[in-house]
């Protein structure tokens, strides 16, 4: 199971990186196109969709690396059971919030698909496609949060501490 989860987080990181490269290519094409009088339809819109997707796909690997911003003022002062209890509380709440958001986002994707919603730009892109990027990224993040909570419940260090992360 650990190999699968680590592979999932690597995949998520790879997709986030590819989406950033996509943004670069679109913007570069737009810059070069302007020199030749060619406009890239919906370039800004596509870049925005890719940026949102990159952010959501980067959530899980960033959590695993311990690179999320954490308020460590309180947690640094706690030791032993108190710290573990707070970590459990925060992880549990984060999992519930992320899980709820992921379910609602998938509902939005399904509604957009059902109603045939299109992006408002020049390119008639079905809006469920970029929404799916967000939903998949948030689902992987929710899995990472469940992985973190599971590690805490087993008495292990969560991934963001075990992997040498844990910046607070």
Choose between 161 and 61: higher pLDDT: 61
pLDDT value for 161: 67
Q: Specify the 3-state DSSP secondary structure of 1.
A: coil
Q: Is the pLDDT of residue 166 over 60?
A: no
**pLDDT tens-digit readout, 86-136:** 889 989 999 999 999 999 999 999 999 999 999 888 888 999 999 999 999
**pLDDT tens-digit readout, 123-158:** 889 999 999 999 999 999 999 999 999 998 998 877
Rounded to whole angstroms, how far apart are CA atoms 75 and 91? 13
Q: Is the pLDDT of residue 163 over 60?
A: no
- Residue 134 near residue 107, CB atoms below 8 Å: no
Residue 102: name the closest of 127, 137, 130 by CA. Answer: 137
Can you list the alpha helix ranges (DSSP code H) found in 36-158? 43-65, 72-75, 80-115, 128-153
**pLDDT tens-digit readout, 29-80:** 999 999 999 988 889 999 999 999 999 999 999 998 887 777 667 777 888 8
Rounded to whole angstroms, how far apart are CA atoms 82 and 68? 22
Rounded to whole angstroms, how far apart are CA atoms 85 and 78? 10
Residue 42: name the closest of 123, 119, 117 by CA. Answer: 123
CB atoms within 10 A of CB 54: 20
Residue 117: name the closest of 125, 52, 101 by CA. Answer: 125
pLDDT value for 82: 87
Residue 89: name the closest of 104, 102, 78 by CA. Answer: 78
Tell me the domain boundaries of the chain.
2-157
């Amino acid at each position: 199971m650990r190999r699968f989860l680590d592979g999932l987080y690597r995949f998520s990181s790879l997709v986030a990186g590819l989406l950033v490269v996509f943004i670069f290519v679109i913007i570069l094409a737009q810059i070069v196109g302007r020199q030749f009088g060619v406009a890239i339809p919906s370039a800004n819109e596509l870049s925005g969709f890719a940026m949102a997707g990159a952010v959501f796909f980067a959530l899980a690997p960033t959590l695993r690396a311990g690179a999320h911003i954490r308020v460590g003022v309180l947690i640094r002062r706690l030791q032993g059971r108190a710290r573990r209890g707070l970590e459990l509380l925060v992880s549990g709440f984060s999992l519930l919030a992320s899980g709820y958001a992921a379910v609602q986002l998938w509902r939005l994707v399904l509604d957009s698909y059902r109603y045939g919603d299109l992006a408002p730009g020049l390119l008639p892109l079905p809006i469920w496609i970029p929404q799916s990027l967000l939903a998949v990224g948030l689902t992987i993040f929710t899995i990472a949060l469940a992985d973190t909570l599971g590690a805490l419940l087993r008495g292990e260090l969560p991934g963001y501490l075990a992997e040498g992360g844990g910046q607070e």
